[in-house]
Amino acid sequence: MATKTGGEKEDPELVETPDRMLSVIGTKMIADSPRSTYYKDMSEKYRKGNGEWLLITIINYYGTIMEPICVVCQASKMHKGHDCSPTEEAALDCKDKMSAAMKVLQHKLEVFSKARHSSAITLEHIKNQAQRVEKQMKDEFLKLHQFLYEEEKRRLLALKEEEECRVTAVRNRDDDNAQRILCLTDMIRTMEQTINAEDLTLLQNFKAIIDGTWSTLQDPESMSGSLLDESKHLGNLKYKVWEKMQAVAPYSPVILDPNTAHPCLTLSEDLTSLRYNTLNQGLPSNPERFHISAEVLGCTAFSSASHSWEIEVGDNEDWILGLASERVKRDKEVPARPENGFWTICLRDGQYRAMATPPSPLKVEKKVQRVLVELNWDRGEVIFSNPSCQEIIYTFKQVFTEKILPYFYTQSKHPLRILSKPVMVST
């Protein structure tokens, strides 16, 4: 840098082209100050002396200012104490930080891409669900319509038959009365003729006429019981039809929730039975679903009172039955024990066990065909029994503090079936 002999500064001139370095200031500076403008002019002349384009600008970088400068400006008092580094080094540092940021963004991109893919699967599943449920609903209502049609037909036929029976009875009585009227009319005419006859003729025929059948004729029968029994046909008609409808519309105390079922479980159309299927159905990976084991929950959570349901296990030799907390883990494999929110018994490897802590072998003399599960939430009891012999298999004692749901597990092709329950109507 050139100066006058008197120490006065003049506009700097670049008389030679030394090796140059573009430096980066890592500390915020005021770009429009006179001194900053002065050194920018110097850098511009320095650039022109080399014939190479150097961009002098200010860039906001994580709250600091990055300003390219030349080596002439770097030596000035203005930048004393500022951290400077070669452009290659600064660029490499920026590239490293940018690469790290880019990896974070790429990970987020992958997460959002998976979310969109999951959304597409979910949308398709919702569409299929709606179509399947609509078809099943129509089929069920068709059965109900058919039942009601047949029941209406049967009851109208019974009404018609009673009508015909009543009409026939009344007509028969009426025909009998008509015959008696003819008989009486003849007798009256005969008596009139006899009364008007000569005395000798009257005396000769009197006894025969007086002792005739007219005196034995009874009065017409009462019409009691001739009318239709309307109360028989109309009394509690809807209730009687509903009561009979239970044969075609049984009540299940527990309905399975298909949105919680593992993809390898196949549920029946009425959602009352399950069996294992090695073919994964490709269901959405929603948070409610069990993702590890072949498990499913009932759709109704219990938080009070008493509840019971009966499961037909039949030939199934790999099952776990009972209750589970609504907050059990569904994306991890955990033992179905009380400490994990399960109260269950099982049949595995030919042995019955209560899934307590530790698991407890159960003494069962005969193969169990049905299992009755009874929950008394208020008393904190879960009772398992064999309804065939009224024998209690095992009882859990637990103070419940949250909602619990019916729980089922199987890895057998033989189904587990929730049995229907008679509906009790109190009057």
pLDDT score recorded for residue 109: 94
Q: What percent of the chain lies above the pLDDT cut of 70?
A: 78
Residue 330 has pLDDT above 60, yes or no: yes
Query: What fold, for 258-418?
Result: Jelly Rolls (2.60.120)
The answer to whether the beta carbons of residues 415 and 274 sit under 8 Å apart is yes
Separation between Cα atoms, residue 202 and residue 284, nearest integer Å: 111
Q: What percent of the chain lies above the pLDDT cut of 90?
A: 53
Whole-model pTM: value is: 0.68
pLDDT average, residue stretch 280-285? 81
The three-point CA angle 288-292-296 to 5° equals 50
- Residue 268 token pair: 């029946």
Residue 81 has pLDDT above 50, yes or no: yes
Per the model's pLDDT, the better-predicted residue between 86 and 391 turns out to be: 391
Whether omega before 358 lies within 30 degrees of 0, making that bond cis, reads yes
DSSP for 227-284, written as a single string: S--HHHHHTTHHHHHHHHHTTTS---S--B-GGGS-TTEEE-TTS-EEEE-SS-----
